[in-house]
Amino acid sequence: MAVEVALNWLPYQRAWQQDNSRFKIGMFTRRGGKTFGSCGEIVADLTQAEIDGRKERWTILSRSENTAKEALEDALKPLTRAFYAAYGEFAKMREPQFVEDGFHVPAHYREVTQGDRTFKVDVPEATYKTHEVRFPSGGRAIALSASPDAARGFGGNLLLDEFAFHRDSRAIWASAFPVAARGGHKIRVISTPNGKGNKFYELMTVEDNGWSKHHVDIYEAVRQGLDVNIDELRSGMADEDAWAQEFELKWLDEASSWLGYDLISECERDWVGQPSQYEGGPCFIGVDIAARNDLFVIWVAELVRGRLVTREIIAEKRIKFAVQDALLASVFDRYRVVRCVMDQTGMGEKPVEDAKARHGEDRVQGVLFSVASKLEMATELKNRMQDRSFLIPAGDPLLRADLHAIKSQVGATGIRRLVADGETDGHADRFWAAAMAASAAQTDYQPYAYQPVRRGGRDDIDRPIKITGGFNARKGMW
């Protein structure tokens, strides 16, 4: 960094800025100023290019539009003004412009690889908003939310901000790296850890891969002058796993993934997932409603000697609601369904209403997805899997990826949230169908029997009997 301004950089921020490696990656603690320090290098590079009369270009890919805007407002803007104020020759020039702009990406297909299988994913149309600093001589820095399509559309030097938290990080990397690497541009990657199932983990842990690596946990940052109270932060977070990952920079896959691969593997059985093995017992159903790009999933679990055994998983994409209704009706015809829990959020209102009318008010339950309800259902599924009382089919890489895709995150308010990492062929739709099936089984099956009563004397009268199938079903009988 040839151009320097006397800002209060901490030693590890300055070390990052002065590292001129073409490819460098940094794993920094939360609250450590990694984005601000990285933007310091970008503004210095753009300022030097302005002095030299060159056009330099930087693209910052952030995990969301809000974080992209924060990078501009909290880092690029104040740093640019500080650099301009420090150099007298800039006073006579018009200052850089800070603008918002947008671009549109049409729908298309792209290929995604999971294990040894490759399949096409329908990418819908999208409009992206860019937050930009334009220097007078033509240099510029653009901050925008990350996606494979956005990464492909911008060249120049590249900063991937909080890369471990980017949805579909491998596809973004496949799109961004060739564009940035062409022409000798620089690539910077910064993040805190987010488990092991992403591209950031691979880049940071592979040895001798040509990357200059920086590692600063909370203890090292404080030792170098970061003004935070470690005990206060740790106490306020009240989550040791999250603390270990966010501040101590531990690669804790279990701290982020709700269901670890080891747990998933231990619940797999070769003989599970075959409808022909149905033993005629009571079944519990989870249904994840979908249209367009998500998966429609029906998960059928039979209660067998105290364990929920997966009998069938139906997963279809881009099918009409009439076909979804027919698939669910087929499940009700082939299995003894005690309780069916369906996603009622948004477009699920009418399918749930129709299913109640067709299969019984008490046998069908709609659930509105919220932070609380998702956590409750996911906890029930995890508890059953930890007890080895929820068995799943073995050897299905897509199913494994979907079950592993749900991540546990603790926000600034201390509330735990469950989110999908976006690197599956759906949005963890199989996971939520399984969670709803496990939730349905929380209502124990109540068997009933008919015992005839001997007719009495003259006070005995004939009374109409309502015949139902299960819990208040409208028609039929088991």
Residue-wise pLDDT for 127-165, tens only, equals: 445 678 888 878 888 888 777 666 666 678 999 999 988
Could you give the CA distance from residue 229 to residue 249 in angstroms, rounded to a whole number? 17
Could you tell me if 166 and 61 are in contact, meaning their C-beta atoms sit under 8 angstroms apart? yes
pLDDT of residue 428: 85
Could you give the CA distance from residue 240 to residue 245 in angstroms, rounded to a whole number? 9
pLDDT level of residue 449 (50, 70, 90 thresholds): low
Please compute the mean of the pLDDT values over residues 304-320 and round it to a whole number. Answer: 93
CA distances from 433 to 12, 362, 377 (A): 46, 19, 10
pLDDT of residue 238: 76
Is residue 90 scored above 70 in pLDDT? no
Beta strand extents in 281-329 (DSSP E only): 282-288, 295-304, 307-317
Please compute the mean of the pLDDT values over residues 428-438 and round it to a whole number. Answer: 94
R_g of the chain computed on alpha carbons: 28
pLDDT of residue 93: 59
Share the mean pLDDT of the chain: 81
User: Could you read off the pLDDT of 175-191 as tens digits, one per residue?
Assistant: 888 877 777 899 999 99
Q: Where are the alpha helices (DSSP H) in 249-320?
A: 253-256, 261-266
Is residue 443 scored above 60 in pLDDT? yes
pLDDT of residue 156: 86
Residue 425: name the closest of 34, 177, 112, 146 by CA. 112
User: Could you read off the pLDDT of 6-20 as tens digits, one per residue?
Assistant: 578 999 999 999 999
Could you give the CA distance from residue 323 to residue 389 in angstroms, rounded to a whole number? 32
pLDDT of residue 149: 63
Could you give the CA distance from residue 353 to residue 25 in angstroms, rounded to a whole number? 51
pLDDT level of residue 256 (50, 70, 90 thresholds): low
pLDDT of residue 125: 46
CB atoms within 10 A of CB 426: 25
CB burial of 17-41 (b: ≥16 within 10 Å; e: otherwise) equals beeeeebbbbbbbbebbbbbbbbbb
Domains observed in the chain: 11-252 (3.40.50.300), 261-440 (3.30.420.240)
Could you give the CA distance from residue 324 to residue 218 in angstroms, rounded to a whole number? 50
Is residue 87 scored above 80 in pLDDT? no
pLDDT of residue 224: 96
Q: Which residues are bridge partners to 210 per DSSP?
A: none
pTM listed for this prediction: 0.54
pLDDT of residue 334: 96
